[in-house]
């Protein structure tokens, strides 16, 4: 079986925004990765190159690229710009592009962009810690330069992927499924209300808002009830997955209830589905999770990578479960959300007829 590429460079540490997203997170993960999987021949570390302007323009406007290069941020609180941050943003964008190419070529069965998964940036704006859309550039490169016609993006980050949605809202070649904490209770806020796509892309955007505290078993029902049948009908040529380590119960800026086993389970479901519909081809972006002690997110990223590859790993929780935590929390409410969603999707998807 082809190995899994881990796209990483020490230069990524320049992506330091001076708040909850800091540069040492990359090194902390790699220290854990080398400890747990460093001798495993199924993984290879691949150093990416910086995205070129042509790469960036697959998604972003030239005017926006120029403004970013001048470090003129319009989202300075969440996304301050500096020369180092801009360089690192180009490096993550280049990693996203390369990851897609490595998987498409067959040289690797899967590829993981360490620190990637820009959700909120759009074609001409930075937002919510994100500058250049590594996910969007990966998908557009595969469609424009390699002829792919069906790409499924599963966004499991706790925040709704409003930027990814804005990029592909009109494109029926991209099926975008976002599972997230209800935006009425979390960034990007109540203005993002479960859109379904626009024009020819109507019905190809699926937003699943969840109660704060939603835990492992509810996510299982989502993946089995929505993601699995839609993937089987859409039959993507590759799956892109945005990691959801910030759905862990200890995350400092979200309010979800997943355990490390739950994070592993999400990626494991993606692996199972990919094996059936697209010969196992997955590009993953592991970059979420905000823990002031730097203990959670390396383990979350590792759990996601191991689930994606079927690798066994010790998933002992670094923090005790909070009082009253239940793996089945919010299952009935989630089932109600899914039934309503299936009704909305029925006109577009035979699997819900």
Q: For residue 3, how many other CB atoms are within 10 A of its CB?
A: 17
Identify whether the C-beta of residue 108 lies closer than 8 Å to the C-beta of residue 3.
yes
Measured CA to CA, the distance from residue 52 to residue 57 in angstroms comes to 9
Nearest to 260 by CA among 272, 249, 273, 271: 249
- State residue 125's pLDDT score: 98
Top-level class of domain 4-352: alpha beta
This prediction's pTM: 0.98
What pLDDT digit, counting tens, does each position of 256-274 carry?
A: 999 999 999 999 999 999 9
Alpha carbon of residue 133 to chain centroid: 11
What pLDDT digit, counting tens, does each position of 93-140 carry?
A: 999 999 999 999 999 999 999 999 999 999 999 999 999 999 999 999
User: Looking at residues 171-177, what average pLDDT do you find?
Assistant: 98
Domain locations in the chain? Answer: 4-352
Mean pLDDT for the chain?
97
- State residue 288's pLDDT score: 95
pLDDT for 1 beyond 80: no
* H or E element in which residue 176 lies: strand 174-181
* H or E element in which residue 265 lies: helix 260-277
Sequence-ordered list of residues with C-beta below 8 angstroms from that of 33, at least 6 positions apart, any chain: 6, 298, 302, 305
pLDDT for 313 beyond 90: no
């Amino acid at each position: 079986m082809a190995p899994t590429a881990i796209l990483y460079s020490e230069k990524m540490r320049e992506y330091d925004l001076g708040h909850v997203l800091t540069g040492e997170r990359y090194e902390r993960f790699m220290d854990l990765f080398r400890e747990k999987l460093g001798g495993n021949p199924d993984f290879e570390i691949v150093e990416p190159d910086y995205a070129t302007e042509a790469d960036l323009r697959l998604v972003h406007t030239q005017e926006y690229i120029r403004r970013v290069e001048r470090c003129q941020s319009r989202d300075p609180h969440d996304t301050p710009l500096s020369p180092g941050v801009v360089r690192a943003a180009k490096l993550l964008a280049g990693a996203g592009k390369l990851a897609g190419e490595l998987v498409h070529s067959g040289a690797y069965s899967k590829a993981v962009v360490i620190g990637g998964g820009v959700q909120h940036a759009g074609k001409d704006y930075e937002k919510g810690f994100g500058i250049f859309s590594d996910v969007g550039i990966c998908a557009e490169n595969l469609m424009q330069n390699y002829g792919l016609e069906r790409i499924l993006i599963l966004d499991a980050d706790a925040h709704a992927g409003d930027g990814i949605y804005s990029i592909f809202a009109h494109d029926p070649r991209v099926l975008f499924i976002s599972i997230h904490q209800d935006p009425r209770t979390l960034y990007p806020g109540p203005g993002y209300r479960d859109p379904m796509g626009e024009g020819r892309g109507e019905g190809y955007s699926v937003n699943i808002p969840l109660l704060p505290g939603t835990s492992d078993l509810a996510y299982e029902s989502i993946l089995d009830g929505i993601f699995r049948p839609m993937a089987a009908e859409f039959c993507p040529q590759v799956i892109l997955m945005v990691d959801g380590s910030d759905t862990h119960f200890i995350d400092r800026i979200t309010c979800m209830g997943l355990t490390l086993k739950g994070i592993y389970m999400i990626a494991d479901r993606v692996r199972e589905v990919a094996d059936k519909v697209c010969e196992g081809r997955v590009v993953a972006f592991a970059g979420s999770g905000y823990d002031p002690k730097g203990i959670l997110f390396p383990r979350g990223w590792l759990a996601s990578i191991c689930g994606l590859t079927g690798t066994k790993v010790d998933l002992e929780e670094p923090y005790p479960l909070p009082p009253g935590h239940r793996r089945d929390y919010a299952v009935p409410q989630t089932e109600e959300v899914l039934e309503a969603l299936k009704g909305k999707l029925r006109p577009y998807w035979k699997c819900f007829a």
